[in-house]
Structures are given as structure tokens and as C-alpha cells.
Amino acid sequence: MKTDPTLHVSADDSDRLRLLIATLRNDPKVKTAVDRLSDELARAVITPERPFNTVGLDCGVEILDLGTGETERFTLTLPEQADTYSAGLSQYRRDRRALSTRLQDP
């Protein structure tokens, strides 16, 4: 049986994500996504600070597409802050063949 990797979330990010979940919990258009986020947050290890060399809200990352070799830069944000013109990223699909190559603090 495959187990998911340990998920570490800072207390600040946890608070922000829990507020998002509470706000969107009854919206049928996003119910599945909210339930998945809630499940992920429930299994997370909450830490006082964001652990070194990890991605959190408002962090910049560069993603290398292993299929094309192209690198894209994103900032992980909450949905209301996502801006496709400035590469704000509120969600990243796990099935995309990509590798995070560099982390950047906000």
C-alpha cells in the first residue's frame, strides 16, 4: 500500500487554509476541491514556522517540465490572490510531470 509523503504546513498557512475551507465549505462548485484540501490539511504536521527548503503560501518556485525541458516560475497563493498574468498559482496538479528545481522566499 502506497502512503502519501509527510506534509508539513506552517501554523500561519494552516490558519489561512482553514479560513478558506470554512469560507468555501458550502459552495457546491468547489466542494470536491475543498474536501480534498481539508483531508490533506487534516493529515499535515503543523509546524510553528515553515520548514527550511519547503514551499508554502506566497513562496516562489520554479518548475521544470520534464517532458519539454521548459522552466516556469510560479507563486503559490490562495485563489483570490492568483493572477495568471503574474504566474500566481493556487493549485498544482500532482499528475503533471514536473520537478521543483528552486525555492524562493517571498
DSSP helix/strand/coil, 78: coil
pLDDT class of 88 with cuts at 50, 70, 90 = very low
pLDDT tens-place string over residues 23-46: 999 999 989 999 999 999 999 999
Q: Where are the domains of the chain?
A: 8-47, 60-104
Q: What is the pLDDT of residue 97?
A: 35
Which residues on neighbouring strands pair with residue 47, listed in sequence order?
10
Say if strands 71-76 and 88-89 run parallel, antiparallel, or are unpaired.
parallel
Q: What is the pLDDT of residue 105?
A: 43
Which pTM value belongs to this model?
A: 0.70
- The answer to whether residues 102 and 62 touch, using CB atoms and an 8 Å cutoff, is yes
